[in-house]
Amino acid sequence: MDTQAQKQLFAELEGLLKDQVELARQDRPAELEVLAEQAQGIVDKLKQAGAFEPARFEAERQRLRGLYDRLRLTLGSQMDQIGQELSRIRKGRKTIGAYRQDLG
C-alpha cells in the first residue's frame, strides 16, 4: 500500500473517531458501535501495511491518540453517570422493599 493510500486511511480513521466522540456525547451507543467496527477494519488495514511503524506518520498517530483519549473520557463520564443512576435505582428499590415489608 502506498503512502497516499495510508494517509487516506488515517484521514478516514480520524473522521470516524470524531464521529464516535460526537455519538458518545449524544448517547447513541448502537451507532457508535457500528463506527467502531468500521474503525477497527481501517486499523487492521493500517497494521497490515505497517503504517504504525514509520516515523513519517507520527503526526497522524498523535492526532488519533488525542481523539481516542477524548472518546475514552467521554465514555468514562457516561459510565460514571450510569453508575450514579443505578445507585439511585437500587436505593429506590430498597425503599420500596422496606415499605412492602412494613405494610405487607
Mean pLDDT for 25-41 is 92
- 72: cell is 475514552
C-alpha span between 52 and 6 (Å, rounded): 10
Mean pLDDT for 38-58 is 89
Mean pLDDT for 32-51 is 92
Between 95 and 20, where is the model more confident? 20
Number of domains in the chain: 1
The answer to whether residue 104 scores a pLDDT higher than 70 is: no
Global confidence as pTM:
0.72
Query: How high is the pLDDT of residue 94?
Result: 83
Q: The CATH number of the domain where 74 resides is what?
A: 1.20.58
Range of the domain at 14: 3-103
